[in-house]
Protein backbone atom coordinates (compact mmCIF):
# COMPACT_ATOMS: atom_id res chain seq x y z
CA UNK A 1 0.00 0.00 0.00
CA UNK A 2 1.22 3.48 -0.85
CA UNK A 3 2.36 5.57 2.11
CA UNK A 4 0.94 9.07 2.33
CA UNK A 5 2.71 12.07 3.85
CA UNK A 6 -0.43 13.12 5.70
CA UNK A 7 -1.94 11.15 8.57
CA UNK A 8 -5.50 9.88 8.52
CA UNK A 9 -6.36 12.26 11.35
CA UNK A 10 -4.84 15.23 9.49
CA UNK A 11 -6.60 14.26 6.28
CA UNK A 12 -9.96 14.05 8.05
CA UNK A 13 -9.48 17.51 9.62
CA UNK A 14 -8.26 18.87 6.29
CA UNK A 15 -11.32 17.48 4.51
CA UNK A 16 -13.75 18.87 7.10
CA UNK A 17 -12.17 22.31 6.90
CA UNK A 18 -11.80 22.63 3.13
CA UNK A 19 -14.48 20.39 1.60
CA UNK A 20 -17.22 23.10 1.67
CA UNK A 21 -14.88 25.36 -0.31
CA UNK A 22 -14.04 22.65 -2.85
CA UNK A 23 -17.69 21.57 -3.07
CA UNK A 24 -18.74 25.19 -3.71
CA UNK A 25 -16.35 25.53 -6.64
CA UNK A 26 -17.47 22.19 -8.09
CA UNK A 27 -21.15 23.05 -7.67
CA UNK A 28 -20.76 26.45 -9.33
CA UNK A 29 -18.92 24.92 -12.26
CA UNK A 30 -21.14 21.86 -12.81
CA UNK A 31 -24.56 22.99 -11.52
CA UNK A 32 -25.00 19.41 -10.25
CA UNK A 33 -24.90 18.38 -6.59
CA UNK A 34 -24.15 14.79 -7.54
CA UNK A 35 -21.19 15.75 -9.75
CA UNK A 36 -19.98 18.25 -7.14
CA UNK A 37 -19.94 15.49 -4.49
CA UNK A 38 -17.97 13.18 -6.78
CA UNK A 39 -15.54 15.93 -7.74
CA UNK A 40 -15.02 16.90 -4.09
CA UNK A 41 -14.12 13.33 -3.17
CA UNK A 42 -11.86 12.90 -6.20
CA UNK A 43 -10.17 16.23 -5.50
CA UNK A 44 -9.23 15.20 -1.99
CA UNK A 45 -8.10 11.75 -3.09
CA UNK A 46 -5.83 13.34 -5.67
CA UNK A 47 -4.61 15.95 -3.17
CA UNK A 48 -3.72 13.22 -0.64
CA UNK A 49 -1.83 11.28 -3.30
CA UNK A 50 -0.01 14.39 -4.50
CA UNK A 51 0.55 15.92 -1.07
CA UNK A 52 4.31 15.57 -1.53
CA UNK A 53 4.03 18.17 -4.33
CA UNK A 54 2.37 20.75 -2.08
CA UNK A 55 4.60 23.58 -0.86
CA UNK A 56 3.61 24.32 2.78
CA UNK A 57 5.09 27.81 2.44
CA UNK A 58 2.22 28.67 0.07
CA UNK A 59 -1.50 28.89 0.84
CA UNK A 60 -3.41 25.61 0.57
CA UNK A 61 -6.59 26.89 -1.09
CA UNK A 62 -5.06 27.94 -4.42
CA UNK A 63 -3.45 24.50 -4.68
CA UNK A 64 -6.79 22.81 -3.88
CA UNK A 65 -8.55 25.15 -6.32
CA UNK A 66 -6.23 24.11 -9.15
CA UNK A 67 -6.86 20.42 -8.42
CA UNK A 68 -10.61 21.08 -8.19
CA UNK A 69 -10.71 22.96 -11.50
CA UNK A 70 -8.74 20.19 -13.19
CA UNK A 71 -11.17 17.61 -11.80
CA UNK A 72 -14.16 19.71 -12.95
CA UNK A 73 -12.72 20.04 -16.44
CA UNK A 74 -11.97 16.36 -16.62
CA UNK A 75 -15.44 15.44 -15.37
CA UNK A 76 -17.19 17.83 -17.76
CA UNK A 77 -15.17 16.51 -20.70
CA UNK A 78 -16.19 12.99 -19.77
CA UNK A 79 -19.81 14.07 -19.35
CA UNK A 80 -19.81 15.75 -22.79
CA UNK A 81 -18.33 12.64 -24.33
CA UNK A 82 -20.79 10.34 -22.58
CA UNK A 83 -23.67 12.60 -23.57
CA UNK A 84 -22.33 12.64 -27.12
CA UNK A 85 -22.51 8.84 -27.14
CA UNK A 86 -25.74 8.65 -25.15
CA UNK A 87 -24.19 6.76 -22.24
CA UNK A 88 -25.36 8.82 -19.29
CA UNK A 89 -27.29 6.86 -16.68
CA UNK A 90 -30.98 6.80 -17.51
CA UNK A 91 -33.58 7.39 -14.80
CA UNK A 92 -35.54 4.21 -14.22
CA UNK A 93 -38.72 4.05 -16.23
CA UNK A 94 -38.19 7.25 -18.22
CA UNK A 95 -37.50 5.65 -21.60
CA UNK A 96 -39.64 3.20 -23.47
CA UNK A 97 -38.14 0.10 -25.07
CA UNK A 98 -38.47 1.85 -28.44
CA UNK A 99 -36.47 4.85 -27.15
CA UNK A 100 -33.74 2.56 -25.80
CA UNK A 101 -33.49 0.75 -29.15
CA UNK A 102 -33.26 4.07 -31.02
CA UNK A 103 -30.52 5.27 -28.65
CA UNK A 104 -28.59 2.04 -29.16
CA UNK A 105 -28.86 2.39 -32.94
CA UNK A 106 -27.72 6.03 -32.78
CA UNK A 107 -24.76 5.07 -30.62
CA UNK A 108 -23.80 2.33 -33.07
CA UNK A 109 -24.09 4.73 -36.03
CA UNK A 110 -21.94 7.30 -34.23
CA UNK A 111 -19.18 4.75 -33.56
CA UNK A 112 -19.32 3.81 -37.24
CA UNK A 113 -18.75 7.47 -38.14
CA UNK A 114 -15.91 7.78 -35.60
CA UNK A 115 -14.29 4.66 -37.03
CA UNK A 116 -14.37 6.24 -40.51
CA UNK A 117 -12.08 9.03 -39.30
CA UNK A 118 -8.44 8.74 -40.25
CA UNK A 119 -6.39 7.11 -37.48
CA UNK A 120 -4.65 10.41 -36.70
CA UNK A 121 -7.93 12.29 -36.31
CA UNK A 122 -9.60 9.45 -34.43
CA UNK A 123 -6.79 9.13 -31.86
CA UNK A 124 -6.86 12.87 -31.08
CA UNK A 125 -10.66 12.84 -30.77
CA UNK A 126 -10.63 9.83 -28.45
CA UNK A 127 -7.74 11.09 -26.30
CA UNK A 128 -9.36 14.50 -25.83
CA UNK A 129 -13.04 13.57 -25.45
CA UNK A 130 -13.02 9.99 -24.20
CA UNK A 131 -9.82 9.76 -22.17
CA UNK A 132 -10.14 13.38 -21.04
CA UNK A 133 -6.65 14.62 -21.83
CA UNK A 134 -6.06 18.28 -22.54
CA UNK A 135 -4.95 19.32 -26.01
CA UNK A 136 -1.46 19.98 -24.66
CA UNK A 137 -1.31 16.55 -22.99
CA UNK A 138 -2.59 14.91 -26.16
CA UNK A 139 -0.02 16.72 -28.31
CA UNK A 140 2.75 15.73 -25.93
CA UNK A 141 1.60 12.11 -25.80
CA UNK A 142 1.42 11.87 -29.60
CA UNK A 143 4.68 13.81 -30.00
CA UNK A 144 3.06 16.41 -32.27
CA UNK A 145 2.79 20.20 -32.08
CA UNK A 146 -0.15 21.72 -30.25
CA UNK A 147 -1.35 23.41 -33.46
CA UNK A 148 -1.34 20.05 -35.25
CA UNK A 149 -3.34 18.53 -32.42
CA UNK A 150 -5.90 21.34 -32.59
CA UNK A 151 -6.25 21.10 -36.35
CA UNK A 152 -6.73 17.31 -36.22
CA UNK A 153 -9.39 17.67 -33.55
CA UNK A 154 -11.14 20.43 -35.49
CA UNK A 155 -11.05 18.35 -38.68
CA UNK A 156 -12.39 15.30 -36.83
CA UNK A 157 -15.28 17.24 -35.33
CA UNK A 158 -16.04 18.87 -38.67
CA UNK A 159 -16.10 15.46 -40.35
CA UNK A 160 -18.41 14.11 -37.64
CA UNK A 161 -20.76 17.06 -38.13
CA UNK A 162 -20.78 16.62 -41.91
CA UNK A 163 -21.27 12.85 -41.71
CA UNK A 164 -24.06 13.34 -39.18
CA UNK A 165 -25.75 15.94 -41.42
CA UNK A 166 -25.50 13.62 -44.44
CA UNK A 167 -26.90 10.75 -42.38
CA UNK A 168 -29.80 12.95 -41.23
CA UNK A 169 -30.55 14.01 -44.82
CA UNK A 170 -30.51 10.40 -46.04
CA UNK A 171 -32.77 9.32 -43.18
CA UNK A 172 -35.19 12.17 -43.95
CA UNK A 173 -35.26 11.21 -47.64
CA UNK A 174 -35.88 7.54 -46.76
CA UNK A 175 -38.68 8.52 -44.35
CA UNK A 176 -40.24 10.71 -47.05
CA UNK A 177 -40.32 7.78 -49.49
CA UNK A 178 -42.30 5.56 -47.11
Q: Which CATH class is domain 92-177?
A: mainly alpha
Contact 15, 44 (CB under 8 A): yes
Contact 40, 72 (CB under 8 A): no
Q: Assess whether the region 8-83 and the region 92-177 belong to the same CATH fold.
A: no
139 vs 24: CA distance, rounded Å: 32
Write down the domain spans for the chain.
8-83, 92-177
pLDDT value of position 167:
59
* pLDDT score of 17 more than 70: yes
Fold assignment, 8-83: Rna Polymerase Sigma Factor; Chain: A (1.10.1740)
102-147 residue pLDDT tens: 556 666 676 777 778 888 898 888 778 766 678 998 888 778 999 9
Side-chain-side CA neighbours of residue 167 (13 Å): 13
15 vs 12: CA distance, rounded Å: 5
Which pTM was predicted?
0.47
**Which residues fall within 8 angstroms of residue 153, CB to CB, at 6 or more apart?**
121, 124, 125, 128, 135
| Count of residues in the chain | 178
Would you place residue 176 in the very low, low, confident or very high pLDDT band (cuts 50, 70, 90)?
very low
DSSP letter at 128 equals I
Amino acid sequence: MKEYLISEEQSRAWFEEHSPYVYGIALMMTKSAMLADDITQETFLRAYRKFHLYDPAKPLRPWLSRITLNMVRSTLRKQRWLTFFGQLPVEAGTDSVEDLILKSESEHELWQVVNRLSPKRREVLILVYYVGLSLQETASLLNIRLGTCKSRLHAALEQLRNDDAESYQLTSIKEGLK
